[in-house]
Chains A and B, each alone.
Chain A
């Protein structure tokens, strides 16, 4: 009688738990291995880095000498024409290229910046290249047409991809220039940029920097 009552009670409990699923420890362990945190962002990026990522930048990047005045004149129209990801209050991200004189460098901060002046129809405009080791933002990820939020389980994975992309970019820049002598030289670069507020200087996450080359 007691056993029956116990069975009944546990059945009643199980049915009232509604959405619960009782699993064995083995299944639980296997589930945890598949957890979102087990995603390897560096491996993912390694697969896409040289191609399509960097190849994409070199082929499709928009010249900043045209883009900078266009963004200033009409940010939304320019975004729709050349950018990705914007709308609903989200900023536009661009694949960009540029050439100009390096006018300043900050390597005292870990968020290193190389300032380059780009000639445009509205005069010289300065942009900051993020030369690492610490890189801010998600411009690289957001400008790439092949990477979508919906492809990942959650925003943590999506963010890890951005970090891995930034790290790959930062590593790729090693040896590209000498911080002590670059100021005053002509710099050519490819990279990603997210359009910020109108007053802020544009920050570019570079995937390639070349010193003293002719116009791309």
Chain B
């Protein structure tokens, strides 16, 4: 078995050398795998990573796992088959993804995780994580300020299977629960969806017309909630989101949404590729595996400096 394999490899190498397909053999591939690009946050991550990879001389393969751990598995297989030299991954589940990253490691491909962490160290080379919890406490603190520390509010939670949905909710409650005069009258998941958030907001408003504020797990849901509130002539209701999208930035500037929290998506994605490059050249990134990048509060005061998930 072994003999025929090495003969096969030698033949392949010879064939490649002779065919002059040197470009393909020399071009090193970085696979960039994220959730669906429907959400501009992930599209920006992919853009940032691809731009840095190309600048450093790599080829890129950009893929989306659509938050499906099975699909993610298949995409890792693709990266392995295509002999990627590194994988930049915004993963589909903190527990579910451990095996996928392990599989890539076994195949000799180092992984550089961005945005979301996995619940194990020693498998990925780097986990450059958005400090979602810290960001959520920032959003919570601003919300509390804008609410005057009292009143009824609703919370819109993200997709349950996404670890970040829970992390942000915990971060919000870390702050909100310390204020006995702030009362949560409704808490619903809108699954990160703008349209779902719109209809959930409509029903919450009907059930609780005295509502004073809505705190949302991400910006797309904040946009849906804000649209529903405006349609119901309830622009007085305070809305806070999370991500730092251009859409919400514009609503903040227009005074329709109070605040959001920027995850430095572009910066993190670029950092991951830089660390991958460093690792490939020197067998080390020079940094600890787990790196936490703080989120930044965005209000009217600094919304002007925000564009495509980057602050000038």
Contact = CB atoms under 8 A, between A and B. Distances in A.
A149 B291 contact: yes
B143 to A, nearest CB: 12
Contacts of B290: 149-150
B235 interface: no
A18 interface: yes
A153 B129 contact: no
A159 B133 contact: yes
A153 B119 contact: yes
Given A155-B167, A163-B174, A90 B294 contact: yes
Nearest to B130: A155
Contacts of B137: 136-137, 159
A91 B294 contact: yes
B293 A155 contact: no
B288 interface: yes
Interface in B224-243: none
B160 interface: no
A75 interface: no
Nearest to A153: B119
A143 to B, nearest CB: 14
Contacts of B103: 18-19
A159 B174 contact: yes
A138 to B, nearest CB: 6
B73 A150 contact: no
Interface residues on B, range: 35 or more
B132 A155 contact: yes
A90 B170 CA distance: 22
Contacts of B271: 88
B92 to A, nearest CB: 12
Nearest to B96: A19
Contacts of A138: 134
Contacts of B149: 109-110
A36 B133 contact: no
A133 B178 contact: yes
B36 interface: no
Given A148-B288, A154-B94, A110 B294 contact: no
Contacts of B151: none
Contacts of B117: 154-155
Interface string B269-294: 00100000000000000001111111
Contacts of A7: none
Contact of B131 (A21, A36, A134, A155): A155
Contacts of A111: 141, 144
Contacts of B102: 19
B288 A150 contact: yes
Contacts of A91: 294
Interface in A65-111: 88-91, 109-111
B121 interface: yes
A12 B7 CA distance: 31
A158 B129 CA distance: 12
Interface of A: 18-21, 36, 88-91, 109-111, 133-134, 136-138, 148-150, 153-156, 158-159, 163
Given A20-B99, A155-B133, 16 more contacts: A18-B99, A19-B100, A19-B103, A21-B99, A88-B267, A88-B293, A110-B149, A111-B144, A148-B288, A149-B288, A150-B290, A154-B163, A155-B117, A155-B132, A159-B133, A159-B134
Interface of B: 73, 94, 99-100, 102-103, 117, 119, 121, 129, 131-134, 137, 141, 144, 149, 163, 166-167, 170-171, 174-175, 178-179, 264, 267, 271, 288-294, 296
30 contacts: A18-B99, A19-B103, A36-B119, A88-B271, A89-B264, A89-B293, A90-B292, A90-B294, A91-B294, A110-B179, A111-B141, A111-B144, A134-B175, A136-B175, A137-B137, A148-B288, A149-B288, A149-B291, A149-B292, A153-B119, A154-B163, A155-B117, A155-B131, A155-B132, A155-B133, A155-B292, A156-B133, A156-B170, A159-B133, A159-B174
